[in-house]
Amino acid sequence: MKSNTTEVLTPSHKYWPALRQRLNDVLVTYVNSKPHSKCQGDLSQTIKILRSLHNIDVEETIILFQGLECFCDCEVLIGAAKKWNNK
Ligand SMILES: [Zn+2]
């Protein structure tokens, strides 16, 4: 049963910087000192990180990200906050 204290992790949520930092850590690698994304083209890392955070509604958060046209981890990292702020 879902606890009613769960929250959607929007780009203005207090955990957003933590999600962003952890996504950056897992996704960005340097090849010949150029940033290179390890994104798999899905939201698997985002989901893994969301699940590790307390009181976050993972499903609703993913629906929000898809609504912001973020369908993979690097799009969440790069595009979500921008699209959220432009709404
Ligand atoms: Zn991607």
Give 62's contacts (C-beta < 8 A, 6+ positions apart).
43, 46, 47, 50
52 alpha carbon – ligand 1 mean position (Å): 21
What is the domain partition of the chain in residue ranges?
16-86
3 alpha carbon – ligand 1 mean position (Å): 31
Tens-place pLDDT, residues 47-67:
999 999 999 999 999 999 999
75 alpha carbon – ligand 1 mean position (Å): 5
4 alpha carbon – ligand 1 mean position (Å): 31
41 alpha carbon – ligand 1 mean position (Å): 5
Q: Where do we find the tokens 């432009």?
A: 86
Rounded Cα–Cα distance for residues 75 and 35 (Å): 15
- CA atoms within a 13 Å half-sphere pointing along the CA-CB vector of 41: 0
Task: Record the pTM.
Answer: 0.88
Tens-place pLDDT, residues 20-40:
999 999 999 998 999 889 999
